[in-house]
Amino acid sequence: MFRVNSTSRRAVAVLAAGALALSLAACSGGGGGANSDPNTVVWSTWGTPEELTRYEEFNDEFMKRHPDITVKLQPVASYSDYHSKMLAQLSSNTAPDVFYIGDDKLGQFVSSNRLMPLTDLMNSSASDTKPDDFFPSLFGAAEVDGEIYAAPNDVNSDALWYDKVALAAAGITEDPATLAAEGQWTTAKFLEMNDKLAEAGLTGTMFWNYWATHYGWISSQGGEAYNDAGDFVGNTDKTTVEAVDTLGNYFQDKKFVVADTLPEGAGADSVFVTHKSGFFAQGRYTIGTLKSAGVEADYDIVDWPTPDGVAAPTGVAASYLAINGKTKAKDAAFTFWTEFLSADGQKFRLTGGGNAVPSIKGADEVVLEDNYPAHAQTFLDMRDVGFANYPTEAAVPALSTDISDLFLGLYEGKSTAQDTLDEVAALVESKTGK
């Protein structure tokens, strides 16, 4: 799991939307995947070299347990190319048997009617991954009318990583995680720390501009973006408007920074490891960045602040694993799918400084290994109460990206909170009818 900047997301959305159109226009009959061997599973994902190495190790272990099944990994180097390629392959009946899907693209894959329904298989005796084994709020757009079409392979809660050195340089003596444990990690305290960091010539907090940032902030402040019926209501909710106004003001005052827009050579990771920012909203993958820089002892994590200091739900980034509905290797593909997602499978993939948090019960020990960061339990606590991207957005190609662009206008001072939320409401209605 890694964060993709908004430019890459925009390029992906345009490509994937075109590929989806081809997919929906294609003939639905005949053919299967690229693989015609019922005992061979071809699967695909994106990933760093380190991630791909771990996946190949999983393949080797899987084939030792199942000598009658051959597993082949077909990686796609770039996330920005990945989803358009998968959709085009589904259209031409050449897609792999099993494949990853990003949370911002999930809905369009489900609506393509090319994914295998999984609920009955998950409840069968062949399954190591029952639906109840997963945290239900993480299925998001993968579940439609009670049918599951994909499951989260792992997740990342965007915790607030904080730099003790930067905080001290700004004269801040209170520890955020300690305040959180005492029920005193309030929005007022967080904003006060950002004010002091700015006064010291440092960046307050860096955020990536994507759905989990604006909706995580709204939720943590007691607001509501979408109601239970999937309608966008943020523009008519007073608490939401006030929360977004505060968010916009802190970006406009440069106390909050959009990580996506930082210049090449002085990106967010560089700013953070050189003690120039107090906070950075990121997932568990940040461990690798800090250890590579040799500064991990200076950092810890805390959940997002709330008005009353009581922890609240925030967005949880996820990627999902699906099975090609036309696979010729249904039994072998499901065996691979369920073992990959199982508690043992996630422990295998995420142990040893892995870059994500398990999406299934029974694998939490990998997050607490090495006792790093000191408050690593926060990742798990945030996952347990967090939420995946709203199905209303995830079902429409590029909608989340377009909404993030509207919020960027707010952050750059080109729009007000109310106008931004009104524009989001109008966009959602025009794209979804809601």
Q: Strand 256-258 relative to strand 203-207: parallel, antiparallel, unpaired?
A: parallel
CATH architecture of 159-314+398-432: 3-Layer(aba) Sandwich (3.40)
CATH of 6-156+317-391, picked from 3.90.1150.10, 2.30.30.90, 3.30.450.20, 3.40.190.10, is 3.40.190.10
200 backbone dihedrals φ, ψ, rounded to 5°: -85, 5
Sorted by where each begins, the domain ranges of the chain are 6-156+317-391, 159-314+398-432
User: What is the SS3 assignment for 364?
Assistant: coil
Q: How far is CA 126 from CA 98, 130, 321, 334, 338, in A?
A: 17, 10, 17, 8, 9
**Pairing state between β 70-73 and 40-44:** parallel
For 40, the 3-state DSSP assignment is strand
Residue type, 2: F
Cα–Cα distance measured from residue 74 to residue 98, given in angstroms and rounded to the nearest whole number: 10
Q: Is the pTM of this model over 0.85?
A: yes
> Which of 155, 161, 157, 154 minimizes the C-alpha distance to 374?
161
H-run or E-run covering 318: strand 316-323
CB atoms within 10 A of CB 243: 23
**Residues whose CB is less than 8 angstroms from the CB of residue 82 and which lie 6 or more positions away in sequence, other chains included:** 12, 44, 45, 46, 76, 100, 102
Residue 203: name the closest of 159, 158, 251 by CA.
251
Q: pLDDT tens track of the chain, all 434 residues?
A: 444 433 333 333 333 333 333 333 333 333 345 678 999 999 999 988 888 999 999 999 999 999 999 999 999 988 888 999 999 999 999 999 999 999 988 988 999 999 999 999 999 999 999 999 999 899 999 999 999 999 999 999 999 999 999 999 999 999 999 999 999 999 999 999 999 999 999 999 999 999 999 999 999 999 999 999 999 999 999 999 999 999 999 999 999 999 999 998 899 999 999 999 999 999 999 999 999 999 999 999 999 999 999 999 999 999 999 999 999 999 999 999 999 999 999 999 998 867 899 999 999 999 998 899 999 999 999 999 999 999 999 888 889 999 999 999 999 999 999 999 999 999 999 999 87
Per CATH, 6-156+317-391 and 159-314+398-432 having the same topology is answered yes
